[in-house]
């Protein structure tokens, strides 16, 4: 299979053609570069210990697949689309102005880091453990999802972030600015925990389960 994938990368395709599909393939320890996922989408595939490398301005699409102990590194303006997947152990790191969409998926232990002015959409999904962080401000959409034992770190959500029927049981917010995230419901935040420097949404009382707000960070609250 590895030799076949290498050959596919060498095939000259017309730029007018739509992406081809790689269907029901098994990949173990494979490294994928932009020469592959600029031309192909993955559907009903299984990835184990694979790495995806997208330098910049690339789009990676994975549908109805399984990912185990994989990593993805992308540059600025990278677009990642993951739909209807089962994930166990995934590390994602992308640059500025990136777009990451994870929908209708079951996820255990995903670490997601995005750059400034990025967009993240995690909807209709269940997530257990893992973390989400951003270098700067981020538009975050999360609808009909559950984040269980999840960590949100070092980010500021924009006013156009949206939430509907999303819960955060036993999750933690560390140095997160939620002041403009007015669509977050009070009961959802009450089920989560936060440090003192996390800002709650404007116009809402601070959850009783959170310590009083303070600009000063306590060393014993740093989750490292």
pLDDT of residue 38: 82
- What's the longest Cα–Cα distance across the chain? 60
pLDDT of residue 7: 46
Taking the domains of the chain in order of start, what are their residue ranges?
2-11+21-218
Alpha carbon of residue 57 to chain centroid: 17
pLDDT of residue 217: 62
C-alpha span between 99 and 119 (Å, rounded): 5
Span 60-85, mean pLDDT?
96
Structure tokens at 210: 């959170």
Percentage of the chain beyond pLDDT 70 is 88
H helix runs in 69-152, sequence order: none
Closest by CA position to 153, among listed 210, 112, 96, 110: 112
Query: What phi, psi does 95 have (nearest 5°)?
Result: -85, -155
């Amino acid at each position: 299979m590895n030799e076949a994938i290498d050959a596919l990368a060498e095939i000259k395709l017309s730029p007018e053609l739509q992406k081809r599909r790689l269907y029901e393939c098994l990949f173990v320890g494979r490294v994928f570069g932009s020469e592959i996922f600029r031309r192909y989408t993955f559907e009903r595939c299984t990835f184990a210990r694979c790495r995806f490398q997208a330098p910049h301005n690339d789009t990676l699409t994975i549908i109805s697949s399984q990912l185990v102990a994989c990593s993805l590194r992308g540059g600025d303006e990278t677009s990642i689309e993951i739909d209807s997947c089962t994930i166990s152990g995934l590390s994602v790191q992308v640059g500025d102005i990136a777009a990451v969409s994870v929908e209708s998926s079951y996820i255990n232990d995903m670490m997601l880091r995005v750059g400034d002015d990025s967009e993240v959409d995690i909807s209709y999904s269940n997530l257990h453990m893992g973390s989400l962080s951003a270098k700067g401000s981020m538009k975050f959409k999360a609808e009909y999802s559950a984040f269980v034992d999840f960590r949100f770190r070092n980010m500021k959500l924009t006013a156009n972030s949206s939430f509907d029927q999303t819960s955060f049981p036993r999750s933690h917010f560390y140095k997160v600015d939620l002041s403009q995230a007015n669509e977050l419901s009070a009961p959802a935040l009450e089920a989560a925990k936060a440090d003192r420097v996390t800002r709650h949404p404007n116009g809402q009382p601070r959850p009783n389960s959170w310590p009083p707000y303070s600009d000063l960070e306590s060393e014993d609250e740093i989750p490292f």
